[in-house]
Amino acid sequence: MRSIGPAWQWIAGAALAAAAVGSGVDAWYAHGIAVRTDARLAETDARLSALEADLSSTTAGLQSSIVATHASLANALSEERQNVGSLASQLGSYQQQFSTVSSTVSDLQKLQSIDPQLLEKYSKVYFLNENYMPAALAEIPDAYKYSDSKLEQVIPQVLPKLESMLDAASSSGALMYVASAYRSFDSQSNLKSQYTVVYGAGTANTFSADQGYSEHQLGTAVDLIAPGLGGQLDDRFAATGAYAWLTANAYRYGFTLSYPDNNPYYIYEPWHWRFVGVKLATYLHDSGKHLYDLDQRTIDGYLASIFD
Ligand SMILES: [Zn+2]
């Protein structure tokens, strides 16, 4: 029979075993807690990381969306500014067009009432039509005429300019009078035939000729005469104070010397002054040119402003 030892040894052994088991349970139990805590911590960490990641991605998203919004607002603003700018420039160009159109309309309205013949250049081959008559004529008062007995007329728009010019000349001591103004085609024909009889056709064409006729038929040209010349229209007028005054001042009243000395167009007529409007006369005076130096197209540009 196998001996199992004394009873106390068995009890002690059992107790030891139990103790060993008991401490194993404790350790196992503690170990379990630690594992669970670690898991929770890891889980919490993961959540935190996820939250952090979320937060950072949300922040980045917000930032980029703010940047994008800002950029798109800035774009929209700049587009609006561009639109406003382009509208303003369009408006400006419309306004310019409108003002060009209205000045063109006003020029056209003026031109409707102005005979284009008034600024035409006449020559030995290009005369004013014999049927041309000014729409109206105004009588030059006696005080301005060389001869009281002779009716002298210019077109009504020219009369006040002529009077102002003669008044100003007279105030400066440069006395001069109108010897001849408007002449109808018929009266010129008569005058010319008289010359023709006296001098023969060739001479009549040179000195009483057609260019000057045409200008007188317009009702805008005047022959001026100074005292002391015996009532003659000749080159001596060029030596008078009246002529010097006209050369310096007539443009202010719209008058210009049609046929200056040594011109290639017609005989020298220092006494013959034609109304072409203040604007054109001023241009001619300032540029040292004469009407017949300009081409007709250039002259036509001044027609609308002839009575300004
Ligand atoms: Zn004349």
How far does residue 260's CA lie from ligand 1's centre (Å)?
12
**Greater pLDDT, 206 or 251:** 251
How many domains is the chain partitioned into structurally? 2
How far does residue 112's CA lie from ligand 1's centre (Å)?
27
Domain boundary among 93, 112, 131: 112
How far does residue 271's CA lie from ligand 1's centre (Å)?
7
- Regarding whether 128 and 105 lie in a shared domain, the answer is no
How far does residue 176's CA lie from ligand 1's centre (Å)?
15
Query: Encoding tokens for residue 169?
Result: 């000349």
CB-count burial class (<10 Å; 0-12, 13-18, 19+) for 79: exposed
pLDDT over threshold 90, residue 117: yes
Query: Encoding tokens for residue 254?
Result: 């719209």
How far does residue 272's CA lie from ligand 1's centre (Å)?
4
- Regarding whether 120 and 93 lie in a shared domain, the answer is no
Least confident span in 174-178, 201-205, 300-304: 201-205
- Regarding whether 149 and 28 lie in a shared domain, the answer is no
How far does residue 172's CA lie from ligand 1's centre (Å)?
24
C-alpha angle with apex 221: 217 to 226, nearest 5 degrees?
A: 130
Domain boundary among 77, 112, 147: 112
What pTM value is reported for the model?
Answer: 0.67
* CA distance linking residue 289 with residue 276, whole number of Å: 13
How far does residue 217's CA lie from ligand 1's centre (Å)?
10
Report pLDDT for 191: 63
How far does residue 219's CA lie from ligand 1's centre (Å)?
11
- Regarding whether 241 and 94 lie in a shared domain, the answer is no
Report pLDDT for 204: 45
- Regarding whether 256 and 166 lie in a shared domain, the answer is yes
The helix/strand/coil state of 130 is: coil
Domain that holds residue 108: 1-112
- Regarding whether 170 and 297 lie in a shared domain, the answer is yes
On average, the pLDDT of the chain sits at 85
Q: pLDDT (tens digit, 9 = 90+) per residue, 133-190?
A: 999 999 999 999 999 889 999 999 999 999 999 999 999 999 999 999 999 988 766 6
Across the range 46-64, mean pLDDT stands at 84
What's the CATH code of the domain at 132? 3.30.1380.10
- Regarding whether 166 and 104 lie in a shared domain, the answer is no
* CA distance linking residue 212 with residue 127, whole number of Å: 9
- Regarding whether 140 and 97 lie in a shared domain, the answer is no
How far does residue 222's CA lie from ligand 1's centre (Å)?
6
- Regarding whether 178 and 82 lie in a shared domain, the answer is no
Query: Encoding tokens for residue 288?
Result: 């040292």
CB-count burial class (<10 Å; 0-12, 13-18, 19+) for 303: buried
How far does residue 212's CA lie from ligand 1's centre (Å)?
5
How far does residue 281's CA lie from ligand 1's centre (Å)?
17
- Regarding whether 94 and 137 lie in a shared domain, the answer is no
Long-range contacts of 165-171 (CB under 8 A, 24+ apart): 165/249, 165/250, 165/252, 165/253, 165/255, 168/249, 168/252, 168/253, 169/242, 169/245, 169/246, 169/249
C-alpha angle with apex 268: 265 to 269, nearest 5 degrees?
A: 115
- Regarding whether 246 and 159 lie in a shared domain, the answer is yes
pLDDT over threshold 80, residue 28: no
Q: How many Cβ atoms sit within 10 Å of the Cβ of residue 297? A: 7
Least confident span in 60-74, 178-192, 242-256: 178-192
Domain boundary among 112, 139, 166: 112
- Regarding whether 165 and 244 lie in a shared domain, the answer is yes
